[in-house]
Every structure is written in C-alpha cells, then in structure tokens.
Amino acid sequence: MTQPTHLNCKDCVDRLGDFVDRELSTEEVAAVERHLEECFGCAREFRFEGAVLESIKVTLRRVQAPASLLEKIRRSLDS
C-alpha cells in the first residue's frame, strides 16, 4: 500500500483491518491516527470494530485444555 501523509475516510477504512492487526507501517499508523483525531465518524467506527474483534477473541478463547490431556500425551509418547 502507498504511504500517504493525509488520508480521507475511504483511505482510512481501507486500512481498518491492517490497523487493528498492527500490520501497517509506522508511517501509515501515524497517518491513520491523524485522520482519526480529526474525524469523529471514522474514530467511532474504528473503536466499534476494535471492540467487536476483541470481544470475539475473548469469547472464543474461554477454553482450557483438560488437565488430563498432557498426561494422555505423555503416556502415548512412552508407549
């Protein structure tokens, strides 16, 4: 992606996914953040998107391997 210094709303939303995933370059992060400081609508959209993704992560990650699993694996490695 090109490295603009000034983004419009479409440019900014195009970078939404990479921004929330911390996959943008430092320069692009700065350009997105500048836009978000100036644009209430985009800032609200980004906050909403970030909160949705975080909530999905938290919900799906509510799981822990059964305590017996490591022991089962150890036994199968020994056999």
Distance (Å, whole) CA 78 – CA 28: 52
Distance (Å, whole) CA 28 – CA 8: 13
Given the complex with another protein, which of 4 and 17 has the nearer CB atom?
17
Nearest distance in Å: CB 46, another protein: 9
Distance (Å, whole) CA 4 – CA 15: 12
User: Which residue ranges make up the site for another protein (CB under 8 A)?
Assistant: 13, 16-18, 21-23, 44-45, 47-57, 59-66, 69-70, 72-74, 76-77
Sequence-distant (≥ 6) Cβ neighbours of residue 37 within 8 angstroms: 43
Nearest distance in Å: CB 65, another protein: 4
Nearest distance in Å: CB 67, another protein: 11
Tokens standing for residue 10: 């479409």
Given the complex with another protein, which of 30 and 51 has the nearer CB atom?
51
